[in-house]
């Protein structure tokens, strides 16, 4: 029997951006949302994790940017008359000493307490959102879901028809973190790129102890780094989520785009038609992570998903709504 439709609001606050999804979800007889209808989806680059890798705390400017976005989202949520809200905070919020300031600021503006979730839960929600949003003929089990964020990257292995993954691990190798640690020049020097690659592969050694990357029969890539690399690889005239969702990028295309981005100046990256202004400074660091993960598999392509942790949060909310 199919259950009632519930309107939910999912907020994902990461190292680089804060995102909102308002959606109607419908339960099936197994308490898993069978269908998700998107009402509104927003992204604001706030760079909440700016400097966190170095200072261990959120800066006042980063908090101000994030709180301004929260105030805007609160108005959208109120107007949509949602039944249930969940605010999830990820990598940067796990690392800071002034987390309480962040939590209180969000509570004041949105009336909801942000949940600073573990890397394991982040991976599980990303997997749920990704596999439910892809056509079954695009991916084969076991599928490796890779979510490249600003502060961390989640690698999750599981079967397409299962909501719970088999194994998962979160590594501190996001696009912002890699850029701030290593890619300081414009464009970065070969020594800086080599240092970033070593750092990434060291982190993936740890991932491999938890997730058998080479066992994957297919790979789904999530979030802005992956979608932007695909948009560049396919020479899109504009960033189009509908065209990007389900698109495929080969290993060769990933290598080519990564090399291209690493040799561009900031101005050249900013001039790319598909480049979001908030990703200009960090896209090369994210591309290096994507390239390294693919190198650790036996796969020659990545399927791109526009559905990710936001969709996973919304679907889980639908299952819980009563």
Length of the chain: 322
Instruction: Specify which residues 303 forms β-bridges with.
Output: 220, 248
- Per residue in 262-303, pLDDT (tens digit) is 999 999 999 999 999 989 999 999 999 999 999 999 899 999
| Residue 70 CB contacts under 8 Å (≥ 6 apart), including other chains | 18, 105, 106, 109, 110
Q: Where are the domains of the chain?
A: 5-119, 134-305
Average pLDDT of the chain, as a whole number = 89
- Per residue in 134-166, pLDDT (tens digit) is 767 788 889 999 999 888 898 999 988 766 788
- The CATH architecture assigned to 5-119 reads 2-Layer Sandwich (3.30)
The reply to whether domains 5-119 and 134-305 share a CATH topology is yes
* Alpha-carbon span 288 to 199, nearest angstrom: 11
Least confident of 30-44, 104-118, 180-194, 257-271: 30-44
- Per residue in 43-55, pLDDT (tens digit) is 998 988 888 778 8
- Per residue in 80-126, pLDDT (tens digit) is 999 999 999 876 677 788 888 999 999 999 999 999 888 778 878 88
Comparing 225 with 33, the larger pLDDT belongs to 225
H-type alpha helices, 119-189: 119-132, 175-181
CATH of domain 134-305: 3.30.420.150
Instruction: Specify which residues 250 forms β-bridges with.
Output: 301
Long-range contacts made by residues 30-35, C-beta under 8 angstroms, separation at least 24?
31/319, 32/163, 32/315, 32/319, 33/132, 33/314, 33/315, 33/316, 33/318, 33/319, 34/2
Question: Model's pTM, two decimal places?
Answer: 0.81
Q: What are phi and psi of 9, to 5 degrees?
A: -125, 125
- Per residue in 234-248, pLDDT (tens digit) is 999 999 988 999 999
């Amino acid at each position: 029997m199919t259950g009632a439709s519930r309107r939910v609001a999912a907020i994902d606050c990461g190292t680089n951006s804060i995102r909102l999804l308002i959606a109607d979800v419908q339960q099936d007889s197994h308490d898993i949302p069978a269908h998700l209808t998107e009402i509104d989806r927003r992204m604001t680059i706030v760079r909440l994790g700016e400097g966190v890798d170095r200072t261990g705390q959120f800066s006042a400017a980063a908090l101000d940017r994030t709180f301004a976005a929260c105030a805007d989202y609160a108005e959208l949520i109120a107007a949509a008359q949602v039944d249930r809200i969940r605010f999830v905070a990820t990598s940067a919020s796990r690392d800071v000493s002034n987390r309480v300031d962040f939590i209180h600021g969000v509570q004041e503006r949105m009336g909801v307490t942000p949940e600073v979730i573990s890397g394991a839960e982040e991976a599980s929600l990303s997997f749920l959102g990704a596999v439910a949003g892809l056509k079954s003929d695009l991916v084969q089990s076991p599928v490796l879901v890779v979510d490249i964020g600003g502060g961390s990257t989640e690698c999750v292995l599981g079967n397409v028809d299962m909501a719970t993954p088999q194994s998962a691990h979160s590594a501190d190798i996001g696009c912002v973190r890699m850029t701030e640690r290593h890619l300081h020049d414009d464009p970065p020097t070969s020594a800086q790129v080599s240092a970033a690659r070593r750092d990434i592969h060291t982190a993936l050694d740890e991932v491999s102890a938890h997730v058998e990357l080479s066992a994957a029969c297919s790979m789904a890539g999530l979030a802005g780094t992956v979608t932007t690399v695909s948009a560049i690889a396919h020479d899109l005239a504009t960033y189009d989520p509908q065209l990007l969702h389900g698109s495929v990028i080969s290993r060769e295309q990933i290598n080519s785009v990564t090399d291209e981005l690493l040799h561009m100046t900031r101005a050249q990256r900013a001039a790319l038609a598909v480049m979001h202004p908030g990703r200009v400074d960090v896209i090369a660091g994210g591309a290096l992570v994507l390239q390294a993960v693919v190198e650790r598999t036996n796969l020659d392509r990545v399927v791109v998903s526009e559905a990710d942790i936001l969709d996973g949060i919304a679907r889980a909310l639908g299952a819980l709504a009563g």
